[in-house]
Chain A
């Protein structure tokens, strides 16, 4: 069975602060994918990043960066110089194969509020 834990239920920061969202996962599969999605108040889940279990290279994309560590089963997400538009619920998710399609296991989400 798969499990994703986002221990931070809510985080509130002031604009321009850096913020890190934590994600810890559990799986017995050796091949898996990890994802981060953003859900603004409008409701749409927006795909941010995907990492496979064989690629521990960290990534930076603009103000976003991700730290994947298999040794600690963590896939953390950092926003630098946060902006009000970053306010949303962020979901970490784990994907393993189920038949011919992959199923996503979501964490419970972290509500990020960036104050002006």
Chain B
């Protein structure tokens, strides 16, 4: 089973709203990732959690706040977003062990976010 689930599939929010994106995996993976993808562009890494600790933050604005409550769950809290933050947000997970099976990342279906 290589399934990563994400909710919601679509989200429309105003610039003053607070919302959260959720990601879940039950593959026993210990690394989880958030990516942002704009139309016709490759995914851009935002955050990496390794063994429930934030290991990489790619200089993401503070209006994006990640949280990893446990090894299976990853949240992305959104607050005071801008219209340019509208994008597809992808979650991924991997074994998390350097060299382990090449640490293949398996992606969820994404959340299409629109900020009005």
Contact = CB atoms under 8 A, between A and B. Distances in A.
A44 B45 contact: no
A103 B42 contact: no
- Prevailing SS type, chain A contact patch: strand
Contacts of A66: none
A91 B37 CA distance: 13
Nearest to A102: B103
Contacts of A58: none
B108 A100 contact: no
Given A98-B56, A102-B94, A47 B2 contact: yes
Interface size bucket, A side?
20 to 34
Contacts of A44: 107-110
Interface stretch (A12-20, A68-76, A80-88, A106-114): A106-114
Interface residues of B, number: 32
Contacts, number: 80
Nearest to B101: A50
A100 B102 contact: no
Interface of B: 2, 31, 33, 40-43, 45, 48, 50-51, 55-56, 88, 90, 92, 94, 96-99, 101-110, 112
13 contacts: A37-B107, A43-B109, A44-B107, A44-B108, A45-B43, A45-B90, A45-B92, A47-B2, A47-B106, A98-B55, A99-B55, A100-B50, A109-B40
10 A-B pairs closest in CB distance: A106-B42, A45-B107, A33-B102, A102-B103, A101-B31, A44-B109, A100-B50, A43-B110, A101-B50, A97-B98
Interface of A: 31, 33, 35, 37, 42-47, 50, 52, 91, 95, 97-104, 106-109, 111
